[in-house]
Amino acid sequence: MRLAPALTIAAAVLAAAAQPVIAAEPPGPGGALLSSHSMLHTCCTPAAMKERLFAESKAMGAGFIRVDVELHGIFEAGGHSAEDPHWDDLDEVIELSRRHELPVLGILMSPPTWLSSCPGAGAAAVRCAPADMQEFGRLAGEVAAHARGTISHWEIVNEPDGAWAFDGSPEDYARMLRAAHDGIEARAPEAEVAMGGVMTPQDPAWIERVLATPEADAAGAFDIANLHLRGHAGGLAGQLAAWRELLGRHGFGGPVWVTEHGYPADPAYQSDPDFRGGEPAQAAYLTESLLLLAEAGAGEVFVTLRDNLDGPFASEGVVAVEGGPHYLARRKPAFAALRRLVDGWAELTAARAEQRRHEEAVRRNRELAAAAGLEVQMRRDLVRRGRVGLAALRGRYRRARHPRARARLARHVDSARLRLRHRISDAGWSRALAGHYRLRAALHEHRAAQLAAFVAGRS
CATH T-level fold of 34-346 = TIM Barrel (3.20.20)
User: How do the domains of the chain map onto residue ranges?
Assistant: 34-346, 357-456
The CB density around residue 380, as the number of other CB atoms within 10 Å, is: 15
- CA 115/CA 339 separation, integer angstroms: 43
In this predicted structure, what is the pLDDT of residue 22?
Answer: 32
- CA 221/CA 131 separation, integer angstroms: 20
pTM (2 d.p.): 0.87
**Mean pLDDT for each consecutive 10-residue tract of the chain (459 residues)?**
44 40 36 95 97 98 98 97 97 98 98 96 95 98 98 98 96 98 98 97 95 95 98 97 95 97 98 98 98 97 97 98 96 98 96 98 97 95 95 94 93 95 95 96 98 94
Measured CA to CA in angstroms, residue 8 lies from 14, 144, 431 at distances of 10, 67, 14
